[in-house]
A = this chain, B = another copy of it.
Amino acid sequence: MAYFDAASSAPLHPVARQALLAALDEGWADPARLYREGRRARLLLDAARETAAEAVGCRPDELTFTTSGTQAVHTGIAGALTGRRRTGRHLIVSAVEHSCVLHAADAHEAGGGTVTRVPVDRTGRADAAVYAEALRPDTALACLQSANHEVGTEQPVAEVAETCCAAGVPLLVDAAQSLAWGPVEGNWSLLTASAHKWGGPSGVGLLVVRKGVRFAVPGPADERESGRQPGFENIPAIVAAAASLRAVRAEAAAESARLRELTERIRTRVPQLVPDVEVVGHPDQRLPGIVTFSCLYVDGEALLHALDGEGFSVSSGSSCTSSTLTPSHVLKAMGVLSEGNVRVSLPFGTSEEDVERFLSVLPGAVASVREHLHTPAARTEAAAPAEEERVIDALGKRCPLPVIELAKIIDEVPVGGTVRVLADDEAARLDIPAWCEMRGQEYVGEEPAEVGSAYVVRRV
């Protein structure tokens, strides 16, 4: 039994648990009250703020505790956009931000603002020069994550911050994935984070707004947390969040090196052990604990279930939540294969044995999913041969089936001949070009069809 989904939520750190228990007895009262219980709660809250500010590298009065990382992002973006409304209503985000950033951008757009979504390269990394080009006189705010949550790629935050600073535009850094490992370098203006990502409890986020940044929270007034987070403070959880951040930081250097070695092992050995795999994300500029790969001809959700059956909890960008079946916007922006995607994110303290066992179990899990998918598909759905062009009718079939059928037929096509894949699953748009790239075939392009799209591939 191994939990390899720390990037989603980390198990509670023992220090967080201890601090939470202690603060349940001392920190339940209203810190705005003047009596003994209120004063005790206020002391705990102030001390937690000092601790968290030290870890972030900011002044305590620049740091607000929010009720989640998402809330910190929503308030941070809305507050900066409102505060700088006179400058303009242009917002810059990278295409691979967490969905909460992108949802805030969508809401801004729906409200009449404009948004530039900066693309990333095939490793998931944004380019500081492209951020610089995106800056406009009416740019109110730019956002860039410190590191990507799905593939672990680190972003050039310090460079982008420098560029933004020179242009007088505040940069908001979503540091949710990296804050456990160290402070965010560079001259950023706003920062957000989430405690349950570093082993703190649920229910606590951080929003840092540097002095001098114009900031105005829209919505009803509230006097708690500098007016930036309405509602009664959750002090026991805040205390636990701050204590565990300090604790993970104390272990960060050693644990970082250890986990980096383990993820490097996965990066190297998965392609050796499993055929038709693409490891995605930046090879060096990456977080220590995250490694992501995609397996051709595999349904991500089925692979997740197979690994769960073997005692491994991982995440998949092919089907990242129980209610979402569209491929991950991150993999899409990178232009890499989304099918059979697996994100392994190791929590602090992951043992070498668990990683080795994962490597020993993975090939069989992938093979079983592939076998299951191949068998029925191969017999009943073979495409009819055509004169010059083969056509695969994969309408109504979910990925990876369209790619599986394409792969089966390609060897029958003469060199220079084309295959037209008719498909209406959104993921095909990403996976067919990605398959061509992996297989060295030529992706001719997408054409509109009566239903769905036609994806044309030429055999090389």
Q: Which residues of A contact B (CB under 8 A)?
A: 1, 3, 5, 8-12, 17, 20-21, 24-25, 28-30, 32-38, 42, 67-71, 74, 78, 100, 103-104, 106-107, 194, 196, 201-203, 205, 219-223, 230-237, 301, 304-305, 307-308, 312-315, 321-324
Q: Are B37 and A223 in contact (CB under 8 A)?
A: no
Q: Are B9 and A321 in contact (CB under 8 A)?
A: no
List chain B residues, Cβ under 8 A from A20: 24
Q: Are A232 and B313 in contact (CB under 8 A)?
A: no
Query: Nearest 4 pairs between A and B by C-beta?
Result: A68-B231, A203-B234, A67-B67, A70-B231
Known interface pairs A28-B196, A107-B219, A220-B106; A35-B232 also in contact (CB < 8 Å): no
Q: Are B37 and A12 in contact (CB under 8 A)?
A: no
List chain B residues, Cβ under 8 A from A322: 32-34, 38, 42
Instruction: Write the chain B residue with the least CB distance to A16.
Output: B24
Q: Are A202 and B100 in contact (CB under 8 A)?
A: no
Question: Closest approach, in angstroms, between the C-beta of A109 and any C-beta of chain B?
Answer: 11
Q: Which of B17, B71, B234 contacts A202 (CB 8 A)?
A: B234
Expressed in whole angstroms, the Cα–Cα distance for A237 and B237 within the complex equals: 9
Q: Are A223 and B313 in contact (CB under 8 A)?
A: no
List chain B residues, Cβ under 8 A from A236: 201-202
Known interface pairs A68-B67, A202-B237, A231-B67; A223-B5 also in contact (CB < 8 Å): no
List chain B residues, Cβ under 8 A from A5: 29-30, 33, 35, 37
Question: Closest approach, in angstroms, between the C-beta of A12 and any C-beta of chain B?
Answer: 5
Q: Are A313 and B35 in contact (CB under 8 A)?
A: yes
Question: Closest approach, in angstroms, between the C-beta of A31 and any C-beta of chain B?
Answer: 8
Instruction: Write the chain B residue with the least CB distance to A301.
Output: B34
- Listed A/B pairs (22) with beta-carbon separation below 8 Å: A1-B36, A5-B30, A5-B35, A9-B30, A9-B232, A33-B313, A35-B308, A35-B312, A36-B313, A67-B71, A67-B203, A68-B234, A69-B231, A70-B222, A74-B219, A74-B230, A103-B220, A104-B220, A194-B232, A196-B232, A201-B234, A202-B236
Number of copies: 2
| Interface of chain A: mostly helix, strand, loop or mixed | mixed
Expressed in whole angstroms, the Cα–Cα distance for A201 and B106 within the complex equals: 34
Name the residue among A28, A68, A203, A301 with the largest chain B CB count within 10 angstroms.
Answer: A203
Question: Closest approach, in angstroms, between the C-beta of A357 and any C-beta of chain B?
Answer: 16
Q: Are A305 and B34 in contact (CB under 8 A)?
A: yes
Q: Are A223 and B34 in contact (CB under 8 A)?
A: no
Question: Closest approach, in angstroms, between the C-beta of A343 and any C-beta of chain B?
Answer: 11
Q: Are B38 and A313 in contact (CB under 8 A)?
A: yes
Q: Are A231 and B71 in contact (CB under 8 A)?
A: yes
Expressed in whole angstroms, the Cα–Cα distance for A5 and B37 within the complex equals: 10
Known interface pairs A67-B67, A203-B203, A313-B38; A24-B3 also in contact (CB < 8 Å): no
Expressed in whole angstroms, the Cα–Cα distance for A3 and B11 within the complex equals: 35
Known interface pairs A5-B33, A24-B17, A35-B308; A202-B70 also in contact (CB < 8 Å): no
Question: Closest approach, in angstroms, between the C-beta of A101 and any C-beta of chain B?
Answer: 9
List chain B residues, Cβ under 8 A from A104: 220
Question: Closest approach, in angstroms, between the C-beta of A227 and any C-beta of chain B?
Answer: 10
Q: Which of B106, B194, B233, B321 contacts A33 (CB 8 A)?
A: B321
Known interface pairs A196-B232, A321-B33; A221-B17 also in contact (CB < 8 Å): no
Question: Closest approach, in angstroms, between the C-beta of A244 and any C-beta of chain B?
Answer: 12
Instruction: Write the chain B residue with the least CB distance to A307.
Output: B35
List chain B residues, Cβ under 8 A from A33: 5, 8, 313, 315, 321-322
Q: Are B106 and A37 in contact (CB under 8 A)?
A: no
Question: Closest approach, in angstroms, between the C-beta of A356 and any C-beta of chain B?
Answer: 20
